[in-house]
A and B are shown apart, each in its own frame.
Chain A
Amino acid sequence: MTATQRKPQKVWKTNNWVDLFLTAIRIGAMAFIGVGLLAFVLEQAGGEGLTGGAIRGLFVTGISQGAMYGLIALGYSMVYGVLGFINFAHGEVFMAGAMSGWITSTILFENGMWEGEAKFVLALLIVLVIAVIVSTLATILIERVAYRPLRESPRLIPLITSIGVSFFMQNAVLGLFGPASKTLPAPPPWMSAEYTFLRIEGTKILVLVIAAVSMAGLWVFVERTKTGKAMRAVAEDKEIAALMGIDVNRTIVTTFAVGGAMAGVAGVLWGLLFRGVSALTGFLPGIKAFTAAVIGGVGNLGGSMAGGLLLGLVESVAPLVILKPLGIPAVSQLKDAVAFAVLVLILLFKPTGLFGERLAAEDRA
């Protein structure tokens, strides 16, 4: 003990050196982005770069993909807020929603419901409701079977369990439906026309509207209802909440269910946007949504949504706007790298994420 007492000065010096290094990285990253943007502006001014329509296209797909990441990220964030572990099976809950969306829409398509205006809207509602039900049931089942028995164990244990559940679900769907990717029926032609002065594709407007409505609904639920209040109380302190007469188990199940419902909605939006689903569909969006949740600050709902939008947007725009003008080849392949670089950058500047709060030491354990 006495030996370590003499060391504080040296520790301070190491910290100083690390701080310097981190500052250098921060400055370097900013300079890199700055130079990329400058090169892009110069290229545009020279009349060589992207057309206005192309840039608009990048932004619109970025935002609609980001809205989807945000919806999935909510599930990660809510479960983390209440139980303090990352539910890695959440990406597969999303995949279950997308899969049931494929099944329902194919059946409706075969019965002539996938055309016209009124019919299509009704069909879409049916698809949404069924996907939400499937995802919600899936997540409730997972909670009951895989997480509740482990409620009192260290947080690392449900985390590893969630990875196991994720593999189980992937392979179960693989076994049930085969490895080939499934294609959803194309929406009616009026959906792919361009609307408003921004000339956004109909499907993308629909995606954004559905995402916004679900988000608003969730906000009202968490902030304005009694159950929402109970969720917030349990997130704050489980024991005290129980003492106040809140049914903790029920509240936790509700949290999972609401997160699952959001993932179900995201699954349908995914089907609308990309029209392709397979057993492995949930993996990458799941990881990206988790990244979005961390960027926004895990546990903060508004932050997760903002993180999702930011991630989708940067991932779509940055390769062509920052990297390509710097002369880097095959920039589209760097899309995922860009997404995770954004995570690193944001954590470098704000280690708790954009809207996260510094956790007390005991909460981080």
Chain B
Amino acid sequence: MYKSKKWSRGIALGVAFGLAAAACGSDAPEFEAGALGAVEVKEGESIQIRSLEAISGDVAFLGIPNDRGTALAVEDYGQIKGFDVDVGTSLDDLCSADGGQAAAQTIAADEDVVGVIGTSCSGAATAAMPLISNAGMVMISPSNTSPALTSDLEGNKGSDYNVGYYRTAHNDLFQGRGAATFAFEELGLTTAAVIHDGDPYTNGLAQAFADAFEALGGTVTTFTAVNKGDTDMTPVLTEVGAESPELLFFPIFMPEGGFIAQQVAGVPGLENVQLMGADALLTDNFMELPESEGMYFSGPDLQYGSNKSTTGKSAEDFLAAYNAKYGEEPSAAFWAHAYDATVLLLTAIDNVAVESGGSLFIDRQALRDELNKVSGVPGITGSLSCDEFGDCGAQKIALILHENSGDIAASKENVVYSYAP
């Protein structure tokens, strides 16, 4: 009994000291924070941003170049008003909803974090974004393309839109339109079948293509799906073949995409069908298949030419730096989008950060407002402008023709059609 009394007296004393210290502390800053509060970066500390990408597992080929693109952009941008920028340890979105959520919890718990570059996968962003948004932070994704994350491009917000979300990747509605326009107008095909695999990305893109193709006056004969892990594609191809479409669009991944390409031959009704895939199949192990020859692929336009970021770097400079630092070529296409996303975030921080009493204050609401104002900012991927739902990408879509499974690099550059809204 005696002991516990002594303890409580000690605690009371501690609380009193704490209150006094807090009261003294609140005098110092003159900075007036907005509705979402502000991040104070004290002298000698760094501005905290985070990189959240799929850096392990099956989809690491996509996430790792994104993560490195962010790191290189931070290096190129340098200090903001005399303060260093720190990306911290790269976080893993595991390309899944639970991975995205777990990482977002870690990030949201750290009040010093200003913004996030990520995620790699739309499924992870859907779960991560509510937490990031509630914490008042912003997130800019280099490779999410699901329309649900932003808007339907006609002023209606997507089902998974959260304030504070931006992306430099294209919205798949544009990719669907690009692919459909090419098939209908350039190839002159009027009937098409579509296969997805139930993933939010493939489903969204398949739907976007089907809607655009029908809007142009074409007919979608079959809109169907397979499961991830399926190997025997004869049933689904038989279902598709019953309507004898001229085009088969399957924006899915390996290995299911490979099984479809291999098993098309010999299915009645598909003798003369034209195959078309999307960026998910623009991988070496698919394009090495002899059966993939003659296929068209839709994807982001990677012909960056002499486009320059505001840091003064072009795609060529970036690739040279990437090669020098990591000793290999990027394994996926969105490194430039990651670079642009990071530069966008750092520029916005630079514009809203206020120095006061040796500290740097970054107002969270002002940062969002600043990103919403982005218009015609040059980037490696092209000119970046953010709409009210966070679509900031250059939105250029390219279609390539794959002619030779022995020379994949040449095929990847064989652009036969470009689409820009």
Residue numbers of A with Cβ under 8 A of B are: 49-51, 53-54, 57-58, 61, 65, 179-183, 186, 192, 194, 201, 270, 273-276, 278, 280, 283-284, 315-317, 319-320, 324, 329-333, 335-336
Contact = CB atoms under 8 A, between A and B. Distances in A.
Nearest to B258: A276
Contacts of A329: 223-224
Interface string B260-287: 0010011111000000000000010100
Contact of A61 (B229, B230, B234, B258): B234
B236 A332 contact: yes
Contacts of A201: 266
Contacts of B258: 181, 183, 276
Nearest to A56: B268
Interface string B54-66: 0001101000000
B102 interface: no
Contacts of B259: 274, 276
Contacts of A179: 57-58, 60
B264 to A, nearest CB: 12
Given A57-B266, A181-B254, A201-B266, A274 B239 contact: no
B255 interface: yes
29 contacts: A51-B242, A51-B269, A53-B268, A54-B268, A58-B234, A61-B232, A61-B234, A65-B232, A181-B285, A183-B289, A186-B290, A192-B266, A201-B266, A274-B259, A275-B262, A280-B229, A315-B232, A316-B235, A320-B239, A324-B239, A329-B223, A330-B224, A331-B235, A332-B225, A332-B235, A332-B239, A333-B225, A333-B227, A335-B232
Contacts of A273: 232
Given A274-B262, A316-B232, 6 more contacts: A51-B242, A61-B232, A61-B235, A180-B283, A316-B235, A331-B224
B402 to A, nearest CB: 16
Contacts of A317: 235
Contacts of A276: 231, 255, 258-259, 262
B417 to A, nearest CB: 28
B152 interface: no
Contacts of B223: 329-330
A297 B230 CA distance: 26
B97 interface: no
B262 to A, nearest CB: 6
B235 A49 contact: no
Interface residues of B, number: 35
Interface of B: 57-58, 60, 198, 223-227, 229-232, 234-236, 238-239, 241-242, 254-255, 258-259, 262, 265-269, 283, 285, 288-290
Nearest to A52: B268
B315 to A, nearest CB: 26
Q: Give the most central of A181, A192, A331: most B CB within 10 Å.
A: A181
Contacts of B231: 270, 274, 276, 284
Contacts of A192: 265-266
A320 B226 contact: no
A54 B241 contact: yes
A180 B254 contact: yes
Contacts of B268: 51, 53-54, 57
A283 B229 contact: yes
Contacts of B283: 180
A315 B234 CA distance: 11
Q: Give the most central of B227, B269, B288: most A CB within 10 Å.
A: B227
A321 B229 CA distance: 22
A57 B267 contact: yes
Nearest to A277: B255
Given A320-B235, A332-B235, A54 B227 contact: no
A58 B227 contact: no
Nearest to A333: B225
A58 B265 CA distance: 14
A131 B159 CA distance: 50
Contacts of B239: 319-320, 324, 331-332
A50 B238 contact: yes
A270 to B, nearest CB: 8
A333 B198 contact: yes
Given A180-B285, A274-B231, A54 B266 contact: no
B198 A58 contact: no
A289 to B, nearest CB: 13
A294 B267 CA distance: 32
A336 B223 CA distance: 19
Contacts of B266: 57, 192, 194, 201
Given A61-B232, A183-B288, A333-B198, A54 B224 contact: no
A54 B268 CA distance: 6
Contact of B235 (A51, A58, A180, A194): A58
